[in-house]
Amino acid sequence: MVNTPELRDNLFSRGRDGFEGEGEVTRALRSLMVGVWGSSMHSPVSPSELFDSVCKGEARFSGYQQHDAHELFQALIEIVRQEESRRLRRGSQSKADGGRRGGGGGERGSEEGSLNDLFRCPLFEPVFGGEMVSTVTCNSCAKSTVTCNSCC
């Protein structure tokens, strides 16, 4: 992931301090990228900040038990997707409000949003995004059903 130019460029375009409202895991991922590709490329870089921030969102990874790297990668992508969705939603709400901060609950409901909002993460969609098409055909009647799902 660190060697993915599109992701690196997207994170670097945010500057050293990132975007306002950037989530903790997104910030830690950007910090890791800056550490690996920044001006001090010849010094060691620890991913512990990123891992610790993922563990806060996914307690199953905390501790020293062995876990599947693919599951960690999926959790990382999902957390960043949720953080970016919240950041973008807050940005569009504040523009609609004219910058006013609205009070009141309902944040949990709006946080969940539609699945389409969650799948449109500008950090990961251009790199890991796509569509999975599944075709199931009945052996008896030969009728086919096609299902399309966005992924990442």
pLDDT, tens digit (0-9, with 9 covering 90-100), for 29-39: 988 888 888 76
Q: Among the residues of the chain, which ranges form H helices?
A: 5-12, 24-37, 48-57, 69-97, 107-112, 115-119, 125-128
> How far, in whole angstroms, is CA 23 from its chain's centroid?
10
Q: What are phi and psi of 146, to 5 degrees?
A: -110, 130
Q: Percentage of the chain surpassing pLDDT 70?
A: 74
| pLDDT tens digits, one per residue of 118-152 | 345 667 777 777 777 889 999 999 999 998 877 65
> Could you please report the per-residue DSSP string of 11-34?
HHTT-TT--TT--HHHHHHHHHHH
pLDDT mean over 53-66: 86
In our burial notation (b when 16+ CB lie closer than 10 A, e otherwise), range 64-74 reads eeeeeeeebee
Residue 16's identity, in one-letter code, is R
pTM: predicted TM-score of the whole model, two decimal places: 0.65
Confidence of residue 51 (pLDDT cuts 50, 70, 90): very high
Residues 146 and 152: their CA atoms lie apart, in Å, by 20
Confidence of residue 94 (pLDDT cuts 50, 70, 90): low
Look-up: residue for tokens 């539609």? 114
Mean residue pLDDT across the chain: 77
